[in-house]
Structure 1
Amino acid sequence: MSRRTWANWARTVRCTPRYLVHPCSEREIVAAVLLADRAGLTVRAAGSGHSFNPLATTDGVLVDLTGFAGIENIDQDARTVTVRSGTSLSAVSAALLEVGLALPSIGTLAEQTVAGALSTGNHGSGFKHPALSGLVESLRLATADGTVREFSRDGTPELFRCALTALGTLGVITSVTLRCVPSFNLRVSEHSESLASLLERFEEWACSAEHVACSWMPWGDTVTSRFLVPTEEPATAQAARQRYATTVSEVKAGLIGLSAGLAPHGVPTLSRLLADRSAGPAGYVDAAHRVFTFPQPVKFVALEHALALPDVPDALNELRGVLRRAGRYSPYSVLVRVGAGDDVPLSPAYGRQTGYINLTVPRSAAFLELHRAVETVLRDFGGRPHWGKAHTATAEVLAPRYPLWDEFQRVRGELDPQGRFTNDFVARVLGPTAPGQLLERS
């Protein structure tokens, strides 16, 4: 234990907890929770720190799970993997590849921890695939009274659903069992067209490949779609170089952000000057987890809202007008992904096929103004903000957007009646803890 400052990945959020704990065992996690209880302190858990908001901060007990990592078991017959909560998605994918298994879909941040990804609603793209929580068979949770409880899809369905995306408010996740599939490769292809053309057939586009995404620079009228299709073809020789092309684009965007920090209106010109006109559309085959993810060395801040799929075209058209009238642009493209709905009470994809609209900006006050403009538009379309990304929503705004909000709050009140697993940000987005009656017990 030590008293020192903790910062998130983007270095935009910091806190100095009274106790910063680096557990190496489940028992040590429980001890940290009990320490907070005895001292009357709040307790939060942190992983790789990829939340762009103060979700993990506390002046009480901060449990840093990055050292509590590793594969506990791989059951090849059942096609499941059990991992410690601080294990990165990249480590899980590498271990699975060695035994011929894989996760069917993950997001772009390979270094994010499993517990952090679950707790904030992390997702990939494609209508056949819900958020990462859809792969969970069971999880273990160190709760406020110092007990470790196991919740499973079959044994404790209500508690299980609530624990999957809980913002760390029900306890500290200690281990997770995930469902896997046989390892597979993906063929990557890209296609450019006008934004108007894509929006006219948006729902058809969203179903056009196993995994689809598109990116759009708002000062232009062209959108580039990326299609990922499972294949039995071997990895191509240039796969690594193609994969790192995305990283190079991120670095260029970061450099443009530094150069245009005082003049965001100059971003389109700088972007055109740094564009690689010799590069053709990406087309390659590689292992799925290497296609889904890419190294992201540049620090940034991201906003993302989940919208009902039919609302995405109108939202993008509205965003185009708002951004062009403002004359301010981010050097990063607007990213659009899609996903299946689910039954997790606090999942942004709850109950509906979902379109995710993401805007990344440099860490500069001049660019952060763009987030406020974009958030206003997406909120008007009923968007649910990603729990780990930048947003200003409050519980009053969010509660009506989640049909099972009250169910989650009942479970929260029972598992954490004293409000140990909270902080100012959690209180803002979820409200205070209220002791409640648990509907089922493990």
Structure 2
Amino acid sequence: MKRFANFSRTVSATPVRWQSITDPSQLSGIFARAANEGHTVRTLGAGHSFTPLVQTSGVLLDLDGFHGIEEVDALTHEVTFRAGTRLWQIPSLLKPYNLALANMGDIDQQSIAGAIATSTHGTGLAFTGFSGTVTGLRITLADGTQMRTSPTENAETFQAARVSLGALGVITHVRMRCVPDYTLHTAERVEGIDEISKNFIDLSKATDHLEFFWFSGTRKALVKANTRLPAGSSLDAPGKVSRWINDELLSNGALQAICSLGAFRPQLVPGLNRLATAMLSDREYTDQWNRVFTSPRRVRFTEMEYALPLENFDVAFTELRAYLEKARVPVVFPIEVRTAAADDTWLGTASGRESVYLAVHRYVRDVVPEYFPEVERILRRNGGRPHWGKEHSLGASQLSTLYPRFADFQAVRSTVDPQGLFLNEHLRHLLVEEV
């Protein structure tokens, strides 16, 4: 039987059936058969989540065959995508309409439905995550009903479905609010970690898109500031050789080498982090929005990320640095810090509050069992909410205290899927009960 493995190869499954969908009309029959056989149904996006969201011994659905644009509203800039559309496909799909996504993270392999289901986000205090831009959804429920949802049509289901982890049904169409096409000027600077961490929140308020990467145990960080420019602005993009050196050789080839060496000889990690920092350099260029936001990610890692209230950043980052300086965790991957605007989604990580995201990573061969749990304790006591697609240890009882509308979500879920057709063990732990 065909086997599933996620990007990091830390989650795998062998479903009883793996079914590719090219038309939503196929779903009702699949659901009925699965229910009759006592199987659950999970939907695969791109496999870029680090948690077992789609792990199943039942039926696994693949929507890659159902992609593209179905409708564009020229007045509102709302675009209806088929749910299997990958983020990397969207720029070329929107180009004929002179539109763009308002924001994007640094990975573009996810499906659009998977990205909204897990509250995926980019960076910038004027911009929400993907789910905050959703204005309508079509979802096929457990009984085969194809339901249209929006703020005015089946509104409760719409609010729950914008970040739903696939627990309500199978989303087949996503209507999102897009923006006029634009370009980005990026300035990457190597700065002292004391300076950027002290000024990060203020700088974030004055910069369209700001983030930084810091190798623990070093005194420098790479700061990336993106400024939005009108479409048609003069481009000054890196050449193929320059892009290959920075994105492939340095960001992937060299990172792979030092991660492999660090996993084999953990005592070398402090020196490897200093070497990685020494390889960082300043650069500026202007390019298409998607080419600036995204970078290839070929080194396999796993990740934990928490969203904190903006005002808690200074304390949380100070505590994180103190822990890392004391523990000297042998991890090469840098820590990433970003921000996002507040949104009104029920289970979005930035729901109701401007948020700063702290993400820690580890190479898949690193043996550091204490690293994520210790960092999680720091981020939790500073009001953090875990990214739904990244590693964390929380269950329903803890999550319910972080989201004011958590009980409302549970009520909608139990109404539209009373038999739990779309739940696996992990989702029961997150959304229903501790197991």
TM bucket, shorter chain: over 0.9
- Alignment counterpart, residue 151 of structure 2, candidates 150, 153, 156: 153
Residue 423 of structure 1 pairs with residue 421 of structure 2: no
Distance 1:172 1:239, change over 3 A: farther
For residues 251 and 309 of structure 1, the distance between their equivalents in structure 2, rounded to whole angstroms, comes to: 34
For residues 388 and 276 of structure 2, the distance between their equivalents in structure 1, rounded to whole angstroms, comes to: 33
For residues 293 and 432 of structure 2, the distance between their equivalents in structure 1, rounded to whole angstroms, comes to: 35
Q: Which residue number in structure 1 is paired with residue 375 of structure 2?
A: 374
What SS does the aligned partner of 1:9 have?
Answer: coil
Q: After the TM superposition, which residues 25-424 of structure 1 pair with which residues of structure 2 at under 5 Å, given as runs?
A: 25-232=23-230, 233-238=233-238, 244=244, 245-247=246-248, 248-273=250-275, 277=279, 280-424=281-425
For residues 129 and 303 of structure 2, the distance between their equivalents in structure 1, rounded to whole angstroms, comes to: 18
One-letter amino acid of the counterpart of residue 203, structure 2:
W
One-letter amino acid of the counterpart of residue 383, structure 2:
G
One-letter amino acid of the counterpart of residue 163, structure 1:
A
Distance 1:265 1:348, change over 3 A: farther
Distance 1:368 1:300, change over 3 A: farther
Once the 2 structures are TM-superposed, how far is the Cα of residue 18 of structure 1 from its aligned partner? Answer: 1.2
Q: Which residue number in structure 2 is paired with residue 440 of structure 1?
A: none
Once the 2 structures are TM-superposed, how far is the Cα of residue 199 of structure 1 from its aligned partner? Answer: 3.3
* Contact 1:16–1:58 (8 Å) recurs in 2: yes
For residues 272 and 324 of structure 1, the distance between their equivalents in structure 2, rounded to whole angstroms, comes to: 14
Deviations 1:74-124 (A, max 9, x none): 333432222111110111122112331101101111111001101000001
For residues 432 and 280 of structure 1, the distance between their equivalents in structure 2, rounded to whole angstroms, comes to: 48
Higher mean C-alpha deviation, range 411-420 or range 222-231: 222-231
* Contact 1:265–1:328 (8 Å) recurs in 2: no
One-letter amino acid of the counterpart of residue 315, structure 1:
A
One-letter amino acid of the counterpart of residue 34, structure 1:
A
For residues 37 and 110 of structure 2, the distance between their equivalents in structure 1, rounded to whole angstroms, comes to: 30
For residues 154 and 266 of structure 2, the distance between their equivalents in structure 1, rounded to whole angstroms, comes to: 51
Identity %: 35
Once the 2 structures are TM-superposed, how far is the Cα of residue 240 of structure 1 from its aligned partner? Answer: 5.5
Aligned residue pairs: how many? 430
Distance 1:191 1:275, change over 3 A: closer
One-letter amino acid of the counterpart of residue 114, structure 2:
G
RMSD: 1.9
Distance 1:118 1:239, change over 3 A: farther
What SS does the aligned partner of 2:225 have?
Answer: strand
Higher mean C-alpha deviation, range 304-313 or range 320-329: 320-329
* Contact 1:190–1:283 (8 Å) recurs in 2: yes
Once the 2 structures are TM-superposed, how far is the Cα of residue 259 of structure 1 from its aligned partner? Answer: 1.1
For residues 263 and 74 of structure 1, the distance between their equivalents in structure 2, rounded to whole angstroms, comes to: 54
* Contact 1:44–1:63 (8 Å) recurs in 2: yes
* Contact 1:308–1:355 (8 Å) recurs in 2: yes
- Return 5+ residue gaps in structure 2 as ranges: none
Once the 2 structures are TM-superposed, how far is the Cα of residue 237 of structure 1 from its aligned partner? Answer: 4.1
Higher mean C-alpha deviation, range 239-248 or range 415-424: 239-248
One-letter amino acid of the counterpart of residue 344, structure 1:
T
What SS does the aligned partner of 1:376 have?
Answer: helix
Residue 20 of structure 1 pairs with residue 21 of structure 2: no
What SS does the aligned partner of 2:404 have?
Answer: coil
Once the 2 structures are TM-superposed, how far is the Cα of residue 241 of structure 1 from its aligned partner? Answer: 5.5
Q: Which residue number in structure 2 is paired with residue 437 of structure 1?
A: none
For residues 323 and 264 of structure 2, the distance between their equivalents in structure 1, rounded to whole angstroms, comes to: 20
Higher mean C-alpha deviation, range 188-197 or range 176-185: 188-197
* Contact 1:184–1:288 (8 Å) recurs in 2: yes
For residues 348 and 372 of structure 1, the distance between their equivalents in structure 2, rounded to whole angstroms, comes to: 19
Higher mean C-alpha deviation, range 203-212 or range 256-265: 256-265
Once the 2 structures are TM-superposed, how far is the Cα of residue 417 of structure 1 from its aligned partner? Answer: 0.7
* Contact 1:329–1:370 (8 Å) recurs in 2: no
Distance 1:365 1:284, change over 3 A: closer
Once the 2 structures are TM-superposed, how far is the Cα of residue 43 of structure 1 from its aligned partner? Answer: 0.9
Distance 1:251 1:427, change over 3 A: farther
* Contact 2:187–2:226 (8 Å) recurs in 1: yes
For residues 133 and 181 of structure 1, the distance between their equivalents in structure 2, rounded to whole angstroms, comes to: 15
For residues 163 and 58 of structure 2, the distance between their equivalents in structure 1, rounded to whole angstroms, comes to: 23
Q: 4+ residue runs of structure 1 moved beyond 4 angstroms? A: 239-244, 274-277
What SS does the aligned partner of 2:216 have?
Answer: coil
What SS does the aligned partner of 1:352 have?
Answer: coil
